[in-house]
Structure 1
Amino acid sequence: MAQYRCCFCNGKRKRGKADYMIKLGEEVIIIKNVPVLICENCGERFYSLGVSRKMEKIIKAYREGTIPLAASKTILATEIAFSTNMAAFSA
């Protein structure tokens, strides 16, 4: 198999697994342990076509409410704007 390089920094990519997080309206869903190629230099993630299609199916099933309860778990998440003024919180 040919070793493809990162298209952003030309670093080597390695196989791994990562969580994929997406915001759908006011909800955030996390797809756990997604197969991915990760750049060893910059950390950019690359998903195969097959993996991308499966994630689309999972998201569609979530929107339609057809994901079995055994396959999903609700967690609490807090949303913080990146533009938050951190100077107010510095000690």
Structure 2
Amino acid sequence: MLVATDVAARGIHVDGVEVVIHYDPPSDHKTYLHRSGRTARAGTDGLVVTLSLWDEELIVKRLQKRVGLDMELVEMFSNDPRLADLGGWGPIEHEESHR
């Protein structure tokens, strides 16, 4: 397990990071991208989870759009049992959006 601040977001390489959890959405897309980039390196799979409050939904959507992601947000509450094993989640399959 690696617990780090934004100090570890750039410039270091740590093998075997399978999950990145943003416990607080960053203020800019570059930080979001670099934090998220600590996982899924060298062709491996990885999972990125962004925890946010209901009033941060627009911020998270903007961050994801700026880095080229179009993912559905999964609504959970603090007592949701899925929070006990965030690292156990696999890639989320979603339908292509039709615009």
TM, length-normalised to structure 1: 0.23
Greater share of residues in helix: 2
Q: Greater relative contact order (Cα 8 A, min sep 6): structure 1 or 2?
A: 2
Greater share of residues in strand: 1
TM, length-normalised to structure 2: 0.22
